[in-house]
Amino acid sequence: MIDRMSCGLMPAKPHTVLRDAEGNLLYEEMLTRGGFSGAFSYLYHRYPTTAAVEVTESKRGHAIAAEDPRGRTPLKRRLYDTRKLPPAGMPFECRIPLLFNKDLTIYFACPAHTDDVYFSNGDGDELWFIEEGSARIESMCGWLPVTAGDYVWIPRSLIHRWHIDAASGGPLRMMCFEAHGGAMIPNDFRNPIGQLKMDAPYTHRDFVRPEGPIASLAKNGGVQDGPKELIVKKAGKFTRLLLERPPMDVVGWEGFVYPWAFAISKYQAKTGLVHLPPTIHSTFAGPGFLVCSFVPRITDTHPQAIPCPYPHSSVDCDEVILYVKGNFTSRRGVGPGAISLHPAGIAHGPHPGAYEGSIGSTRTDEVAVMVDTYLPLSPTVQAVNLEDTGYHDSWRSPAPSGAKS
């Protein structure tokens, strides 16, 4: 929900008659949030959206998060190596849950194939971060190209599917935040009329929007070809709807609810006289969580500054970081694709030597995505299976064998 967009055909006044050249009535759909009080979009379909010929419980869908007690006890710092995951499957069903609480479920996915069904997630907005690869997302709002380094926002209950771009030279590797209460731009970044402020870390122009409409009024056809199957997720259950025709029949739409992409390289980082707290890197937020972006930047300007993060006990937050690229200032033995969990209740901070070693440095080339959650996160069995069990002990000096210095 960045700003208002419109494309394609629509009547001059909402909720009035719109016909094609043959006199066929087009069908309006309102995609509304917050009941009918939040952001919304008008979608104009060639056919009624209610045309399903079969509705059954689906045998297909992704794994649902369930706690593995080994993942939380004892309370210690954890590291998960997503590089152990081979590329396989389709985005709607290959994503694996790693960490979750009532506000957020964090998945990782390495899909190798295009979705062969359409998918709609009624359990939350999906905020993805693409670590590697590229794809196109087909939705009722149009086509959205996405690539490595992009955040991708897919609104709750938007019918879509991912097309894997085989020409990108590799499979997708990506993290997903399923935000049960929604994921959005922090209110502090907007002025009273909703425009992004000049001191926000991004501008309206930084967001890539879908190219639409997806369908046309062509006499024979015009509906985007695709599967007739739609898998809907709600309350952790999957339902299969067999539709009369592929659902991509939208010839025009207008509103604030549409998918978008934002490249982390466009994030405008801030530098201070001395080390600024992680919240200065705020990017997206939702009830119970805050996503932050760490990007290459000049570090602190005070001649005696210690650029490395200070050890800290953030007593109200669990902290999760996906390391993407660069030499992360405060960590050793941690490479791209690693995800750390530093739980509230115990302190965390730089690895031995990093704090002292950062003195005098003037810039960092790190790229990482962090999420802080205000409720504790539960690791799943899938996370436990990816865990580097020596991570907590890697704060002992010297570094454990195999760790990079």
For residue 78, the minimal CB distance to Fe ion (Å) is 14
Q: Shortest distance, CB of residue 388 to Fe ion, whole angstroms?
A: 18
Asked if 114 and 226 count as a contact pair (C-beta separation under 8 A), the reply is no
Q: How far is the CB of 169 from Fe ion (least distance, A)?
A: 34
Residue 165 C-beta: closest distance to Fe ion, Å: 34
Site residues for Fe ion, 305-344, by CB under 5 A, read 319
Separation of alpha carbons 305 and 317, rounded Å: 26
Per rule CB under 5 A, count of chain residues that contact Fe ion: 1
Query: What proportions of the chain, in percent to the nearest 5, are helix, strand and coil?
Result: 10, 35, 55
Q: How far is the CB of 64 from Fe ion (least distance, A)?
A: 29
C-alpha closest to that of 324 among 177, 151, 184, 169 = 151
The amino acid occupying position 208 is V
In angstroms, what is the minimal distance from the CB of 250 to Fe ion? 43
Nearer to Fe ion, 138 or 319 (CB): 319
Residue 181 or 288: the one with the smaller Cβ distance to Fe ion is 288
- DSSP H helical ranges for 5-77: none
Stretch 128-167: interaction string toward Fe ion, x if CB under 5 A: ----------------------------------------
**Alpha helix locations (H) across 80-151?**
91-94
Residue nearest to Fe ion (CB): 319
- Tell me how far CA of residue 134 lies from CA of 107, 112, 154, 261, 293, in angstroms: 18, 11, 16, 12, 20
Please, which of residues 60-119 interact with Fe ion by CB under 5 A? Answer: none
Please state the closest distance from residue 189 (CB atom) to Fe ion, in A. 22
Nearer to Fe ion, 101 or 340 (CB): 340
Contact indicator for 2, 206 with CB cutoff of 8 Å: no
CA distance 341 to 379: 9
Sequence-ordered list of residues with C-beta below 8 angstroms from that of 396, at least 6 positions apart, any chain: 352
Evaluate whether 333 touches 402 at the Cβ level (below 8 Å). yes
What is the binding site for Fe ion (CB under 5 A)? 319
